[in-house]
């Protein structure tokens, strides 16, 4: 370790005890060490007192708060809907539909003749096409919803 480095560590108070004693002895006896010490100490004090923090714009805090406000709303709405409640409601709905479907099927007389007035071939076709269109609309909405989900970008 050279003289300058030893003195800097002495000023910082980061040197070990033997080095500290060694530097103190040199400072008491050696003029060159004394000169360098006073020079480095002066620089050290100058940096400490003269270093100034740069100031961002006056809107800085406001901008940050605006950015995090949007985040907080997302978090709150996420926590607002309890997933257990959502699952329970879904379970009740699906069970009810299955129950009604089962009940309807069990009560159906499969041997009964179809009234041609209401269940003609064209009526069944129209009903089928309406269901296909509704199905496509539903699939489109599900796919769009997935696309619009925000992307997390915390890249630490």
Q: Which stretch in 5-13, 105-113, 129-137, 138-146 sits in contact with other proteins by CB under 8 A? A: 5-13
Secondary structure of residue 91 in the 3-state scheme: helix
**Least separation in angstroms between CB 12 and other proteins:** 8
Question: Binding residue for other proteins (CB under 8 A) from 17, 32, 69, 116?
Answer: 69
Q: How many residues bind other proteins (CB under 8 A)?
A: 33
**Least separation in angstroms between CB 57 and other proteins:** 6
d(CA 33, CA 10): 12
State which residue, 65 or 97, has the beta carbon closest to other proteins: 65
d(CA 11, CA 5): 10
**Least separation in angstroms between CB 71 and other proteins:** 7
Please report where in the chains the tokens 């997390």 appear, as a residue.
152
User: Which tokens go with 151?
Assistant: 């992307």
Is 132 a binding residue for other proteins by CB under 8 A? The answer is no
**Least separation in angstroms between CB 42 and other proteins:** 7
CA 41 to chain centre: 46
Q: Which stretch in 16-24, 99-107, 133-141, 148-156 sits in contact with other proteins by CB under 8 A? A: 148-156
In angstroms and rounded to an integer, the radius of gyration of the C-alpha atoms of the chain is 40
d(CA 53, CA 40): 22
């Amino acid at each position: 370790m050279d003289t300058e480095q030893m003195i800097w560590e002495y000023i910082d108070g980061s040197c070990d005890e033997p080095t500290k004693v060694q530097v103190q002895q040199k400072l008491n006896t050696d003029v060159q060490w004394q000169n360098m010490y006073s020079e480095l100490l002066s620089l050290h004090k100058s940096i400490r007192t003269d270093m100034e923090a740069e100031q961002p714009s006056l809107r800085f805090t406001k901008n940050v708060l605006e950015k995090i406000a949007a985040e907080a709303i997302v978090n709150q709405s996420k926590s607002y809907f309890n997933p257990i409640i959502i699952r329970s409601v879904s379970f009740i709905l699906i069970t009810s539909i299955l129950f009604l479907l089962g009940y309807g099927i069990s009560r159906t007389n499969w041997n009964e003749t179809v009234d041609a007035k209401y269940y003609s071939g064209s009526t069944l076709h129209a009903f089928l096409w309406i269901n296909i269109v509704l199905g496509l609309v539903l699939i489109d909405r599900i796919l769009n919803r997935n696309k619009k989900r925000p992307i997390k970008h915390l890249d630490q």
